[in-house]
Every structure is written in C-alpha cells, then in structure tokens.
Amino acid sequence: MSLNFNEAINSLCLRLDLPFPAQQNDMVNLSIGEHAIHITAQPSQMILMFCCIDSAKIIDSLSLLQLNLFGENSLKPILSQDAHSNDWVLWSRQLLDSASADSLYEQLELLSDFADKLVAGEC
C-alpha cells in the first residue's frame, strides 16, 4: 500500500480517537457498533470502505437497490450483491489523494449509519 493509504488510516484513527493499527497492510478493519467496516485502497488511488450485511436483514431488495440512484453526496453508500456468494455488501469510496480526516470520518459515518438502518429495517 502507498504511504497515502497509511496516512489516511492514521488521520482517521486520530479523528476517531483510536490507536493506530499496530501493523498496517492491505486492509484495516474497524468495529463500529455491530458492524465490521473494512478499509482498503481499491483501486489503488481510491479509499474503499465496505461492510457485509446479513441477507436475513434484507427484506425488500428491489426497493433497497432503488436507493442506489444518484445523490448529491459522492460518499453515499451503495448496496450491492456479490454475484458468487449472494452476500450483500454496502460500500463507498473516495479519491485517496483528496481524502481528509473529516471526509474519511464522514464516509465512515454514512456507511455505518446506513448499515444500522438496513439491519433495523428502516430503509
């Protein structure tokens, strides 16, 4: 991973008042509420955050997929379904070079909040 990825992770940890990961590699995992949020650089110039959503929590997939339509916030999470496993994945990404502690925090907060709403059946 590039130094930019490590710097981004460190700035996010500072913003969250979390210790820096002891050893950073291709992926960093954070526990936010009941969700495991995975953070990686994918593709290399983007910072990708994603979490898996239990399919039992997805009641009406068609209406949920309609939430993926365009929005003003480029950090808005997208709900997708893996073609091989049929697992639901909630994800968002932003350009790594322009990421800041605040934009990373916003990205994480939006992802976590939307995941909570999905699990609670509020979407």
Percent pLDDT > 70 in the chain is: 83
CA distance 26 to 22: 13
Query: In the predicted model, is pLDDT for residue 32 greater than 60?
Result: yes
pLDDT of residue 87: 85
Write down the domain spans for the chain: 3-120
CA distance 32 to 39: 12
Confidence class of residue 3 from pLDDT cuts 50, 70 and 90? low
Q: Which fold has domain 3-120?
A: Yope Regulator; Chain: A, (3.30.1460)
At position 93, the amino acid (one-letter code) is R
Least confident of 39-43, 79-83, 97-101, 112-116: 79-83
Mean model confidence pLDDT for the chain: 86
The residue among 122 and 77 whose pLDDT is bigger is 77
Using alpha carbons, select from 78, 94, 82 the residue that is nearest to residue 39: 94
The residue among 24 and 31 whose pLDDT is bigger is 31
Cα 22 → chain centroid = 21
Cα 97 → chain centroid = 17
CA distance 113 to 73: 14
The residue among 43 and 25 whose pLDDT is bigger is 43
